[in-house]
Chain A
């Protein structure tokens, strides 16, 4: 049974998943920024346990602290209260087991697409032939197989965004995604989401996925964490008990619509 103290109760069908070991444990995590105009509570006391291989979506309107939460889990931002742990160890710096996909692709114009993808490997000192193959397969998965040797400025904006899943090349245990496909058109985004879900499910990667889009959040997730602003906080968690592998057809099912309404409801009440 779910034991973490969250307000919205878990649906009973997911009990079987609880055998998986917790990877990320967030307890009483909060962040207050101090500005000249006074303190801003970006995130208030979040408690959440994320198990191995789980896909968690975070939805909520702009400014509800989604990026703040993700940055703290990434070890890029230090918490004001509480803590987050990764495999039991307190997170206070970035970890190589954690991959981060940012809102923009961050491509260096003097490196080819391939060289950009291999940058982390260069830093880690793990740039091997096997890794090159891995990079190639990731780029092929997002339809950029023919653009390995191209420079980023030779790609369209959308194609540049599609390089984001490069972080998978380093085979992280945990993947943090901060709306990496936000600027893509709906078709491409859907295709990217499907591809990402396939890869992460197959590899057993734990995913924290931030989005504004409720449909997408529900469709991808095992659980949807619903957040509301002023101050940023978690208002509820909705279990998504739709079977996997998912396909677009499931969006037409009554259960899917119910889940979306549930998320909407929590967002509405704040």
Chain B
């Protein structure tokens, strides 16, 4: 009598569903590949046929050649590491500041009421306009670019942290209250993990902004860095090298993004789209 059969029922996931999904994934990957091939082909053929001037758009193979020769130059590593340093430092500082401010505004209602209007007002400013000012304030070196990167990148982290922390379901809060959890325990065991997926989305957005911030800073005033190289080669009309630098910047952005994506999967293993395992 004690336990009825109704309580013993489990359930299974169909294996065929998983198979179908894999095939679908493969098909979409093939589509993407096809699109890339078409783009590269047009890029290669258009300048060769004289449809566009090679000064405006160097062919794909020309860019690859420029990329290889650029990477073999002695000065390349210096410019590369300057920009990479700006990006990494700017990213770490920007996301940290966003995280700390976001937590402060979420857990401290008075702080939110006082500071939030300023935060929103600040976000309304197109912060790129500060670039010349930062050069004047912090000089031509890396610090002005790092400041620029931080200023453009902390906001998505701040807002996502705040929203994530505030979206903890009322029932979960009630549960924690009913077992007399301290605010710190509730924060660590419930609010923070709950907010993590949303925070991470903000962090990914921040990465894009950091790269933009650093490069714009270098455009406005610098003597080193990949942004500086773009300016330099543009002025020398070596457009193939401009494209080569762009490819490198794209690779930095993509590399960072995939790193974050990987970390995201590791950290937030419970996402609803995680199947099986």
Contact between B7 and A142 (Cβ–Cβ < 8 Å)? yes
Convert B186-206 into 0s and 1s, putting 1 for each residue whose CB lies closer than 8 angstroms to a CB of A.
000110011000000000000
Q: From residue B197, how far is it (CB to closest CB) to chain A in Å?
A: 10
Cα A95 to Cα B269 in complex, Å, equals 34
Cα A200 to Cα B214 in complex, Å, equals 65
A153-B270 CB under 8 A given contacts A108-B190, A188-B6: yes
Contact between B180 and A247 (Cβ–Cβ < 8 Å)? no
Contact between B193 and A110 (Cβ–Cβ < 8 Å)? yes
Residue of A nearest to B7 (CB): A143
A143-B9 CB under 8 A given contacts A153-B272, A191-B3, A194-B1: yes
The tally of residues in B whose CB lies under 8 Å from a CB in A reads 30
A93-B190 CB under 8 A given contacts A108-B172, A141-B3: no
Contact between A162 and B2 (Cβ–Cβ < 8 Å)? no
Contact between A191 and B180 (Cβ–Cβ < 8 Å)? no
Cα A146 to Cα B11 in complex, Å, equals 11
| Interface-centre pick from B11, B179, B180, B185 (highest chain A CB count, 10 A) | B179
Convert B222-248 into 0s and 1s, putting 1 for each residue whose CB lies closer than 8 angstroms to a CB of A.
000000000000000000000000000
Convert A70-106 into 0s and 1s, putting 1 for each residue whose CB lies closer than 8 angstroms to a CB of B.
0000101000000000000000011110101011101
Residues from chain A with a CB closer than 8 A to the CB of B269 are 110
Cα A122 to Cα B175 in complex, Å, equals 14
Asked whether A190 is an interface residue with its Cβ less than 8 Å from the other chain, the reply is: yes
Residue of B nearest to A75 (CB): B178
Asked whether B177 is an interface residue with its Cβ less than 8 Å from the other chain, the reply is: yes
Contact between B180 and A110 (Cβ–Cβ < 8 Å)? no
Contact between A108 and B174 (Cβ–Cβ < 8 Å)? no
Contact between A195 and B270 (Cβ–Cβ < 8 Å)? no
Contact between A108 and B4 (Cβ–Cβ < 8 Å)? no
Q: Which of A157-209 contact B (CB under 8 A)?
A: 159, 162, 170, 185, 187-188, 190-192, 194-195, 198
Residues from chain A with a CB closer than 8 A to the CB of B11 are 156, 159
Contact between A147 and B179 (Cβ–Cβ < 8 Å)? no
Residues from chain A with a CB closer than 8 A to the CB of B179 are 94, 96, 119-120, 123-124, 170
Residue of A nearest to B169 (CB): A106
Residue of A nearest to B185 (CB): A123
Q: From residue A233, how far is it (CB to closest CB) to chain B in Å?
A: 24
The tally of residues in A whose CB lies under 8 Å from a CB in B reads 41
Residues from chain B with a CB closer than 8 A to the CB of A104 are 171
Residue of B nearest to A99 (CB): B178
Residues from chain B with a CB closer than 8 A to the CB of A93 are 180
Cα A106 to Cα B11 in complex, Å, equals 21
Contact between A94 and B6 (Cβ–Cβ < 8 Å)? no
Contact between A76 and B4 (Cβ–Cβ < 8 Å)? no
Asked whether B254 is an interface residue with its Cβ less than 8 Å from the other chain, the reply is: no
Residues from chain B with a CB closer than 8 A to the CB of A76 are 174, 177-178
Q: From residue A78, how far is it (CB to closest CB) to chain B in Å?
A: 13
Residues from chain A with a CB closer than 8 A to the CB of B8 are 143
Contact between B7 and A191 (Cβ–Cβ < 8 Å)? yes
Asked whether A151 is an interface residue with its Cβ less than 8 Å from the other chain, the reply is: yes
Contact between B178 and A190 (Cβ–Cβ < 8 Å)? no
A94-B190 CB under 8 A given contacts A106-B175, A187-B6: no
Contact between B178 and A191 (Cβ–Cβ < 8 Å)? no
Cα A143 to Cα B4 in complex, Å, equals 9
Chain B residues engaging chain A, CB cutoff 8 angstroms: 1-4, 6-11, 169, 171-172, 174-181, 185, 189-190, 193-194, 268-270, 272
A-B contact pairs, 29 of them (CB 8 A): A76-B174, A94-B178, A94-B180, A96-B179, A98-B178, A102-B175, A103-B171, A104-B171, A106-B171, A106-B172, A106-B174, A108-B193, A108-B194, A109-B270, A120-B179, A122-B189, A123-B181, A123-B185, A141-B3, A143-B3, A143-B7, A143-B8, A151-B270, A156-B11, A162-B7, A170-B179, A190-B4, A194-B4, A198-B2
Chain A residues engaging chain B, CB cutoff 8 angstroms: 74, 76, 93-96, 98, 100, 102-104, 106, 108-110, 119-120, 122-124, 141-143, 146-147, 151, 153, 156, 159, 162, 170, 185, 187-188, 190-192, 194-195, 198, 247
